[in-house]
């Protein structure tokens, strides 16, 4: 099978990684010549499908399926129009994406069907979160402790050309789950934990048994199914929530391939979410533990970092066994002063996983003669 991937940033990197594990041939299109997924794919082209539609369609016509791995609405609408009526399988659900890409629209939908979400501001008081409606992750997010912080956050978001959404800051473990639908059947998969860096960007994904207790895990799956059924989901969707002392609170949904959690799910359970999106096989999960973690090595230090920092990686490659890891996505070269990596490890249990992680970190520190390991967290969780 040949998979065309539109977008070569971290979502594209995830798609290439999963495709290679499934044995698929990959071809990535991106308009940026330094997009990280380009060096990982079997083939690539640097072009803008908005301006070079004929060339993009020629490439996609040679593919069995196409997966968009970007969040540019104009590009996604163009791709949807290009492939309409063709025999090429589009691994994407535009109608669901239009809901999930707007926090205003998705919050309205969740309130309508009774999904627990954070309270709206100003009823919630402080601290509060001011975030742009049309962005994902921590982009444009302000943690507000006062009316001035709220005003500054709103001003920043308006400057981005977006609409502000203001909600209570909810505290607790950050969790995620993927669900895949075919419009009639909907299958939730495995809960993962999202671990944040000091800038509230994801630095590590942990997939292991017991991230949520059994009751909450079943509730999380039921919540994701409820939303997927309401949306008549026909592809992959990611659901993010906080496990608070008052119960689960859903933060956002994204009806597109996520950039980090699927690789951790694959390493821990053997479930390839890309394969499931293609064929809806319902493969049985194994019961292991795995982590997917970003690092930057610079100035003699090994620093855990969020995906935005890792995205500065230059022409990465997949390397098995580097520094004792199962696998890395990295631009490491011996003697380099600055380099980046995503380290992927799996083990039979979370305890064994943490031992392996510690050995890998020690190996990097020793072999690269580094002086300090820096692993910072947000001021509030």
d(CA 155, CA 150) in angstroms, rounded, equals 9
> Taking all residues of the chain, what is their mean pLDDT, rounded to a whole number?
94
**pLDDT tens string 70-84:** 999 999 999 999 999
**pLDDT tens string 296-351:** 999 999 999 999 999 999 999 999 999 999 999 999 999 999 999 999 999 999 99
From the list 220, 351, 277, the residue with the least C-alpha distance to 89 is: 277
Alpha helices, DSSP H only, in the chain? 10-22, 53-60, 73-83, 94-100, 103-113, 147-159, 214-231, 261-269, 273-279, 307-310, 350-367
Residue 297 exposure: Cα atoms within 13 Å on the Cβ side: 24
Q: Please, are residues 24 and 63 in contact by the beta-carbon 8 Å criterion?
A: no
Under the banding of pLDDT at 50, 70 and 90, the label for residue 185 is: very high
pLDDT at position 63: 98
d(CA 20, CA 46) in angstroms, rounded, equals 21
Q: Go through 243-265 and write b for each residue having 16 or more CB atoms within 10 A of its CB, e for each that does not.
A: beeeebbbbbbbbbbbbbbbbbb
Give yes or no for residue 118 having a pLDDT over 70. Answer: yes
Give yes or no for residue 129 having a pLDDT over 70. Answer: yes
Helix (H, G, I), strand (E, B) or coil at 107: helix
Place of tokens 């909600």: 167
d(CA 282, CA 191) in angstroms, rounded, equals 16
Q: What's the rounded mean pLDDT across residues 182-198?
A: 95
Q: What's the rounded mean pLDDT across residues 8-32?
A: 97
Helix (H, G, I), strand (E, B) or coil at 366: helix
From the list 182, 152, 179, the residue with the least C-alpha distance to 164 is: 152
pTM attached to this predicted model:
0.93
pLDDT at position 137: 65
pLDDT at position 281: 73
Under the banding of pLDDT at 50, 70 and 90, the label for residue 381 is: low
Give yes or no for residue 26 having a pLDDT over 90. Answer: yes
**pLDDT tens string 14-25:** 999 999 999 999
Under the banding of pLDDT at 50, 70 and 90, the label for residue 160 is: confident
d(CA 261, CA 163) in angstroms, rounded, equals 27
Residues 6+ apart with CB under 8 A from 249: 116, 117, 118, 170, 241, 242
pLDDT at position 325: 98
Domains in the chain (CATH in brackets) are 2-92 (3.40.50.720), 119-168 (3.30.1490.20), 171-279 (3.30.470.20), 289-374 (no CATH)
Residues 6+ apart with CB under 8 A from 112: none
């Amino acid at each position: 099978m040949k998979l065309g991937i539109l977008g070569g940033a971290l979502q594209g990197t995830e798609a290439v990684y999963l495709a290679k594990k499934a044995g698929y041939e990959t071809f990535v299109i991106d308009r940026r010549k330094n997009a990280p997924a380009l060096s990982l794919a079997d083939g690539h082209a640097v072009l803008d499908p908005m301006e070079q539609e004929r060339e993009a369609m020629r490439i996609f016509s040679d593919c069995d399926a196409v997966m968009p791995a970007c969040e540019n609405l104009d590009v996604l609408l163009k791709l949807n129009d290009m492939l309409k009526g063709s025999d090429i399988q589009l691994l994407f659900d535009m109608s669901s994406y239009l809901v999930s890409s707007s926090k205003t629209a998705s919050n309205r939908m969740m309130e309508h069907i009774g999904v627990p979400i954070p309270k709206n501001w100003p009823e919630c008081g402080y601290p509060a979160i001011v975030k742009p409606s049309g962005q994902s992750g921590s982009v444009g997010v302000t943690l507000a402790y006062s009316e001035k912080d709220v005003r500054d956050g709103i001003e920043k978001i308006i400057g981005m050309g977006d609409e502000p959404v203001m909600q209570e800051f909810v505290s607790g473990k950050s969790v995620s789950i993927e669900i895949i639908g075919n419009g009639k059947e909907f299958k939730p998969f495995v809960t993962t934990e999202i671990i944040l860096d000091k800038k509230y960007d994801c630095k590590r994904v942990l997939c292991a048994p017991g991230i949520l207790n059994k009751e909450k895990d079943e509730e999380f799956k039921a919540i994701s199914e409820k939303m997927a059924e309401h949306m008549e989901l026909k592809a992959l969707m990611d659901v993010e929530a906080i496990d608070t002392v008052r119960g689960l609170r859903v933060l956002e949904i994204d009806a597109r391939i996520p950039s980090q959690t699927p690789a951790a799910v694959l390493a821990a359970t053997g479930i390839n979410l890309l394969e499931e999106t293609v064929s809806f096989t319902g493969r049985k999960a194994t019961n292991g533990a795995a982590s997917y973690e970003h690092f930057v090595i610079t100035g003699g230090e090994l620093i855990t970092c969020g995906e935005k920092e890792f995205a500065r990686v230059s022409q990465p490659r997949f390397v098995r066994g580097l520094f004792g890891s199962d696998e890395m996505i990295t631009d490491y070269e011996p003697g380099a002063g600055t380099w980046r990596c995503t380290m992927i490890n799996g083990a039979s249990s979370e305890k064994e996983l943490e031992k392996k992680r510690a050995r890998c970190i020690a190996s990097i520190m020793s072999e690269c003669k580094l002086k300090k390991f820096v692993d910072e967290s947000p001021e509030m969780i």
